[in-house]
Amino acid sequence: MTVRTRQHQRGRPIGAVTRLLLPILLAMSVTALFAMVWQSVGEQSDFADLERDGVRYIQALGPLEIALTNAGSAAVTGTPAPVEDLTRAVDAVAAVDRELGERLSTQDRWAGLRAKIEALPADAGKADTIAAYGTVNDLLLALMDKVRNSSKLVRDPDADLYYLGDGAAQELPESIVAATRYTNLLVSLPGLNAADRASTLIDISTAGSSLAGNARDLSDDVRLAVEGTGSESLGSALLSRLDRFNRAVDNLMPLMSGRDGAGSEQVVQRRDEMQAAAADLSSALLTQIDIGLQDRISSLDQRRLLASGIFLVSVLLALVPAGLALAARSRGARPPRPGPVAVPELESERERWGRVSVPQ
């Protein structure tokens, strides 16, 4: 055996091992990348699911805020308020809290708010009624802020959904509370003595400034959301409702001066117009947030499906050479089958004597 033949035989096992290991290492690398992508997509999907839970909770809190402000305004003006609306709104929030309260860590806050709602005075004076409902409204805003933080709506990575969430869960609810306090103080102004009247006018001015500031911040949120997404459907769904809300707020502002001689009936009418516009805008904002989150989850599901397909194909392609190498190695290790043994033919007697030379 030559030296070159011996070197070739010594190199064959190393080459075979290399051809066997490289596909396996490639398959392991693809598996590791797939696991990282799968985990990342799963975390983003869970994040969006939690945000959707927050949207559901805030959607239940919106009617409760409207029912509370209506009940407070009715108590201040001395008109009967529909108790069924408030009871129905409380039951709706209680149902949502039973389902999502543990996940969003809202159970204690909701229990405290519900206790305050049930303890609201039925026949107190105007000042005490305004103070009692003001406390309840503050607790409601705190609960809404808790939901926004626990559901991570406040940390949404998309600019448009972030601004929509800020408008729907902070600026708009605060606008409703500020408008209610503003109109309740206006209604309570007649009949006050000089000292109380001066103090109330300061409170009216403060509530009016808060309302104007919240409305301005809300307009900025919607504008930034529309500009951030570039979606025409988002603009058409929100801008007309925002204009209606801003017109309703503008109609409330002149009442503060008292120069137009607005009575309690006109104040309540304009407040009702503002609340109707706010409820319509709130529903549209939360609907658009939920649509955006659903689209994100659908996109993540498609990425997960695509990653699974790529992973499966890559692993199969990587394992094919390894399988071929193993098959070749298995064939090379088998002993060769014994072939047929050649049996020499016996010469006939004639042929053997024919080769014997006969002496001449």
- Tokens 């407040």, located at residue: 271
Specify whether the CB–CB gap between 315 and 31 falls below 8 A. yes
Q: What percent of the chain stands above pLDDT 90? A: 44
Nearest Cα to Cα of residue 108 among 81, 136, 146: 146
Q: What's the pLDDT at 259?
A: 40
CA distance 100 to 106: 8
Question: Cβ contacts of residue 36 below 8 Å, gap of 6+?
Answer: none
The residue with greater pLDDT, 106 or 325, is 106
Burial of 144 (C-beta count, 10 Å sphere; 0-12/13-18/19+): buried
- Tokens 């607790």, located at residue: 139
CA distance 228 to 165: 14
The helix/strand/coil state of 273 is helix
Specify whether the CB–CB gap between 172 and 249 falls below 8 A. no
The residue with greater pLDDT, 171 or 229, is 171
284: its two tokens? 């549209």
CA distance 95 to 90: 9
Residue 191 has pLDDT above 80, yes or no: no
Q: Give the Cβ contact number of residue 247 at 10 Å.
A: 12
Residue 8 has pLDDT above 60, yes or no: no
Residue 48 has pLDDT above 70, yes or no: yes
Nearest Cα to Cα of residue 164 among 214, 243, 104, 218: 218
Instruction: Write out pLDDT tens, residues 328-355.
Output: 666 665 555 555 555 555 555 555 545 5
Q: What's the pLDDT at 322?
A: 61
Helical (H) or strand (E) element with 189: none
Q: What's the pLDDT at 126?
A: 82
The radius of gyration of the chain's CA atoms, rounded to the nearest angstrom, is: 40
Question: Cβ contacts of residue 339 below 8 Å, gap of 6+?
Answer: none
- Tokens 């025409």, located at residue: 232
Q: What's the pLDDT at 261?
A: 42
Residue type, 47: F
pLDDT bucket at 172, cuts 50 / 70 / 90? very high
The residue with greater pLDDT, 76 or 277, is 277
- Tokens 């500031």, located at residue: 213
The residue with greater pLDDT, 187 or 314, is 187
Candidate from 11-25, 51-65, 68-82 with smallest mean pLDDT:
11-25
Residue type, 88: R
Residue 199 has pLDDT above 80, yes or no: yes
Indicate the average pLDDT of the chain.
82
CA distance 26 to 29: 5
